[in-house]
Structure 1
Amino acid sequence: MSRTMASIFVAVAAFALAVGVASADNCLDGGCHADEVNYKYLHGPLAAEELGMEGCTSCHKPVGNACSADKRGDFEFAAAEKELCSICHGRSTATDHLQQHDNCLDCHSPHGSDDSSSMQR
């Protein structure tokens, strides 16, 4: 392949990638967060996002620039980290281990797990 053809191929491929990321319909379409869905067991909001629904915004609220190919988007948590899980998982649905551990993320992964359907780390 000539050098010119190789340059054209690289330019077209880069453009196609940039357009694909820029036109992503949700957090997972652009491929930037593919590692977040690479689990045997997915947390419900992440599974919803993978199906095209807005699951990520259950926990992550956009506050500025959207994600792009070269820069992470700006977001904040929907609630204080220690209260975040209780938005969906009320105290009444949880087990009594909450009395001993007040931060769910100490033991549970917020995105998924390969070992446990209860998202244990």
Structure 2
Amino acid sequence: MSRTTASIVFAIAALALSVGVASAENCLNGGCHADQIDYKYLHGPLAAEELGMEGCTSCHKPVGKACSADKRGDFEFAANEKELCSICHGRSTATDHLEKHDDCLDCHSPHGSDDTSSMQR
């Protein structure tokens, strides 16, 4: 097989595998949380999950039995709820108000927003 033919075969195989990953069942298309992608602006981990990557586990750590199409799994926050946002949104990605107001969820939606890209409620 020539190098060009091998490259084409590899590219087609890679494309086929990536399509399979994107269409595999996950939190959003498995029937449990499909409504979470109805927002105009999606939070980064949720957008990653929509693309077939593991975004939900950035914040929600699986514990116990795994989920399936007919049975929900067990999850807990990956960190203390008040510290969770600062795992990704440290000083370099947050504004000065992070130090003054430590409960992000009072003002920001963790999944998305229809009003603003800063996920304000």
Q: Shared topology, TM-score over 0.5?
A: yes
Gaps of 5+ in 1: 1-23
Letter in 1 for 2:62: P
Cα distance between partner residues in 2 of 1:58 and 1:91: 18
Report the equivalent of 2:38.
38
Report the equivalent of 2:54.
54
Gaps of 5+ in 2: 1-23
SS of 2:28's equivalent in the other structure is coil
C-alpha contact 2:27 2:34 (8 A) present in aligned 1? no
Report the equivalent of 1:98.
98
Report the equivalent of 1:63.
63
Q: CA deviation at 1:30?
A: 1.1
How do residues 76-91 of structure 1 correspond to structure 2 at under 5 angstroms?
Answer: 76-91=76-91
Letter in 2 for 1:96: D
TM-score, normalised via structure 2 length = 0.74
Letter in 2 for 1:39: Y
TM-score, normalised via structure 1 length = 0.74
Aligned residues: CA RMSD: 1.4
Cα distance between partner residues in 2 of 1:114 and 1:98: 22
Report the equivalent of 1:110.
110
